[in-house]
Amino acid sequence: MVEIEFLGPIKLDTIKLEASNLAEVKEKLNRYTDFELNEWLKICAVAVNDEIVSSLETPLKDGDKISILPPVCGG
């Protein structure tokens, strides 16, 4: 089981689910009924255990922490 945390303005609680790679996580999150979450997923970066990743084939193991990171702007 992996833990998924949503950072910044995404107002969702941390969830846990079974997934062997990020493609499975994406598929399961896309089924989520929250329209706002689906919009966020299109523009967010993803980190696994605090390291930014870009491949949906990134393997996951039990206990991994996935962070959904919305874009930010600064001044």
Which CATH number does the domain housing residue 11 bear?
3.10.20.30
Tell me which residue range forms the domain holding 32: 2-69
Is there a domain that residue 75 lies in?
A: no
CA distance 12 to 21: 21
Is there a domain that residue 13 lies in?
A: yes
Residue 68 and residue 7 in contact, taking contact as beta carbons nearer than 8 Å: yes
Q: What is the pTM of this model?
A: 0.86
Q: What would the two tokens of residue 67 be? A: 């962070």
Is there a domain that residue 44 lies in?
A: yes
pLDDT digits (tens, 9 = 90+) for 42-53: 899 999 999 999
Q: How many domains does the chain have?
A: 1
Q: What would the two tokens of residue 24 be? A: 């499975």
Length of the chain equals 75
Residue 5 and residue 68 in contact, taking contact as beta carbons nearer than 8 Å: yes
pLDDT digits (tens, 9 = 90+) for 11-59: 889 999 999 999 999 889 888 766 678 888 889 999 999 999 999 999 9
Is there a domain that residue 29 lies in?
A: yes
